[in-house]
Each structure stands twice: as C-alpha cells, then as structure tokens.
Amino acid sequence: MLCLSGAERSRGWTGASGCFISSSTSVLHRPAERAPLVASTRLPLRVLFFCRSALPILISAVILSIMAAGALKRPRRPKTDPETLIDRINALSPAAFAQRFFPPSSTLLRYRDYEITLKSVTTIADGDFSSCFKLVESTSAADYKSSSRGWRPRDKLREMREDHMRYLLVRESRSHPAKSADSDRASHDGEPSELDTSTVGNDIVAFCSFMFTIEDDYPVVYIYEIHLAESHRRSGLGRHLMRIVEHCATEGAVDKAMLTCFRCNTLAMAFYTKLGYEEDEFSPPAKRLRGGKIKLPSYLIMSKRVG
C-alpha cells in the first residue's frame, strides 16, 4: 500500500502508468509534458510461448556443452566406509594382494639393476626378516637412542611382525637384462622359481615395510620402515620404493600415505618434503616448558594426500 502526503493528494498523483488522477474530477488524462516512467514490456503471446518451450532445450544444451568441455564433473560416488575398505584389503591373500596391486603388466618391482620382491609378514623368510632388522639396527638405532622412545630391539621386532605388514625386499640383480615374464611372476608372493636364485643376489640391500590401516579415522597406508644400505643410497632407489607404496595407496583408494620421521634425521626429512610430504595435522605438537621455552617432540608424523 502506497501512502501519499496531503500535498500529493491535493495536487493529484501520477502513478506508475503515467496517468494523472485529478482531485477535482474523475477524468483520467496523460500529461503531455511527461514521458511514461516505464516503457511497456509486453510481448506477443507467440514470443512468450516460444521462450517458454525453448528455455529447457537451451538450458540442456548449455549444460551439455559445459560437461563436454570438462568444466562440470559428475558427482563422485560416496567412499566406502574406512574400516570396511581396510578390512577388505587386509583380507586379501598374499597372491590376491599381488595380483590386485602388481599385475603381470606392472614394472614397478623392477628398478635398474635391482629386483624387488613383495612379501607379507606371513610369507617372509626368517633369514630375510633378520636381514631387514639388521638394516634397521645399523641405520637407525642411534636415532632411536637419542629420542624419547629409546632403542628397544624386542619392541621393534614385535612391531615388524604385526599383522597385515607388507614388505618390499630389494636385492641386486646378478643379470642386467630385463627379466622374463616368469621372473615377473616370481617376484610376487608365491613359490620361487629357478630364475629367482639365478638372477637375484642373496643379500638384501634395502627394504620398505608398510600397512593398510586406520589412523585418526582416516584410511591410510602407513610406511613403517624404509632403509637402504649406505652404498645404495642416492641412487633413486628410495624414491622408487616410495613410489611403489604411493601406488598401493592410490590403488587402494585410501586418503593418504603416512610415516614417522625423527627430527634429528634432517636428510630424511628433506627427502620426504621433496616428495610432497608435510607435517600431519595429528603430529604431536610442541610443548611449552615452565620457563617459556618451546620443546619440540623428537619425531614428527608426515603425510601426503594421494588419489
């Protein structure tokens, strides 16, 4: 409802249509000296009918063109429940795990003059397990001793034997030519073939252990250990082992790859940072001591989004 002042009512009022309503008569007339305030916007019925019928078609055409250009993506299907996802992967037999993540066409288990063998905690040989532990001891025992955790061999052995742990064992290849399809299959879990003993050295020069698990409600691949003998570092081998684990994380549709690193191991921290790892949101925070001094934990948790 529009309210008018007394002066407006006495003079008359020009409405939106431009008509003048006289206060003395009931005659409506349009002032010659004023143009209409709003131009007429009426359209013929045929034009209105065409617009109404063609509008859905035009909208559909625009949406299709946007989708074709890749600007509009289909909504992603909801992810599987994290626990269900991890349980399904960990329920795979060693052979089924190898077939899913490293099919015969995969070349990931071969790097330069190295042979990489995939083993589960249930299929790794005792001798290979001992070699892995010796690598941990020789490369990281000092860092453990200087940390708040300390070096506890029994605890480390127990951790390395945890259920669902997977191992990537690296040996030098005795023959440089590319391995055959039979050797490819022999690099997976299963019965070793004669090609294994003729083309692969006995000594383990590096290894990586990892596990599909839940960390702070996220499905992740956690890298427990990655150790290389001194003479085999700076060869790209460590980067390749990380690439294999990240491949598993992507294929397994988990959220991220995670690891623990000692802060004193600056070379390792720089290595992981270069690969795109950052301090995880759940890494233990720094503590403020009574004197106001900030004390950092001896280790940090790093992670990288995958997929």
Q: What is the CATH number of domain 82-305?
A: 3.40.630.30
Average pLDDT, stretch 184-198?
A: 40
243-265 per-position pLDDT tens digit: 999 999 999 999 999 999 999 99
Q: Tell whether the model's pLDDT for residue 175 goes beyond 50.
A: yes
Q: How far is 255 from 157, CA to CA, in rounded Å?
A: 28
User: Quick one: which of 305, 203, 194 has its CA closest to 256?
Assistant: 305
Helix (H) or strand (E) holding 120: strand 114-120
81-111 per-position pLDDT tens digit: 999 999 999 999 999 999 999 999 999 999 9
CB 131 within 8 A of CB 179: no
CA–CA distances in Å: residue 116 to residues 89, 113, 173, 196: 21, 10, 9, 11
Helix (H) or strand (E) holding 119: strand 114-120
Q: Tell whether the model's pLDDT for residue 149 goes beyond 50.
A: yes
Q: What is the pLDDT of residue 243?
A: 98
Average pLDDT, stretch 222-229?
A: 98
If DSSP codes are grouped into helix, strand and coil, which group holds residue 218?
strand
* Mean pLDDT of all residues belonging to the chain: 79
